[in-house]
């Protein structure tokens, strides 16, 4: 196995582990956000390995990483809002009628 195929398999494994943790541990909002960020990291790793073999396409990877950071900041701000308004981040305590 070459290094490129090994990194592709490891990044797909990261995405699958993130998806598994998103499905398995969806009790808290923080666990869901962390598993989504882990999936984004796996996709970024796959993207960076594939574009590095094509040529000098680092700008697309930086754009993807910027969007992932903005998504993480938005998720953390929503987490802070939910904790301040409801007292915890449990999905069972959130209700559409309270909004």
The per-residue pLDDT for 94 is 75
Domains and CATH numbers, the chain: 3-86 (1.10.287.3510)
DSSP-assigned letters across all residues of the chain: --HHHHHHHHHHHHHHHHHHHHHH--SBHHHHHHHHHHHHHHHHHHHHHHHHHHSS-HHHHHHHHHHHHHHHHHHHHHHHHHHHHHSS-BSTT--TTT-
pLDDT in tens, 15-58: 999 999 999 988 888 899 999 999 999 998 888 887 776 666 77
pLDDT in tens, 46-76: 888 877 766 667 778 888 889 989 998 999 9
pTM: 0.81
């Amino acid at each position: 196995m070459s290094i490129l195929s090994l990194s592709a398999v490891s990044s797909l494994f990261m995405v699958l582990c993130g998806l598994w943790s998103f499905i398995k541990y969806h009790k808290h909002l923080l666990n869901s956000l962390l598993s989504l960020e882990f999936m984004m990291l796996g996709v970024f790793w796959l993207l960076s390995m594939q574009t590095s073999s094509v040529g000098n396409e680092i700008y697309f990877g930086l754009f993807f990483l910027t969007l992932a950071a903005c998504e993480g900041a938005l998720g953390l701000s929503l987490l802070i809002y939910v904790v301040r308004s409801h007292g915890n981040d449990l999905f069972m305590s959130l209700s559409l009628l309270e909004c």
